[in-house]
Copies of this chain bind each other. A is one copy, B any other.
Amino acid sequence: MSSTTRVPQEERTRAMRLRLMEATVELLVEKGFSGTTTTLVSERAGVSRGAQLHHFPTKNDLVVAAVAHLTEIRGSDLEAAVSRLPDGAGRTEAVVQMLGDHFASPVFTAALELWVAARTDAALLEAVAPLEQRVGRETHRLTVELLGADESRPGVRELMQATLDLVRGLGLANTLGDDARRRRKILKEWSRSLDAALKEKS
Contacts and interface: CB of A to CB of B under 8 A. Distances in A.
A55 interface: no
A155 B119 contact: no
So how many copies of this chain end up in the complex?
2
Nearest to A28: B120
Contacts of A101: none
Given A169-B165, A170-B165, A176-B129, A120 B190 contact: no
* Interface of A, helix, strand, loop or mixed by DSSP: helix
Nearest to A185: B158
A140 to B, nearest CB: 12
A168 interface: yes
Interface stretch (A15-23, A70-78, A108-116, A144-152): A108-116
B197 A192 contact: yes
In this complex, the member of A32, A113, A118 whose beta carbon has the largest number of chain B beta carbons within 10 angstroms is A32
Contact of A120 (B35, B182, B186): B35
Contacts of A170: 165, 169
A166 interface: yes
Interface string A152-194: 0001001101101111111111011100001001111110111
A34 interface: yes
A177 B32 contact: no
Contact of A159 (B115, B177, B189): B189
Contacts of A173: 165, 168
Contacts of A112: 116
B176 A118 contact: yes
A30 B120 contact: yes
Interface of A: 30-35, 109, 112-113, 115-121, 129, 132, 155, 158-159, 161-162, 164-173, 175-177, 182, 185-190, 192-194, 196-197, 200
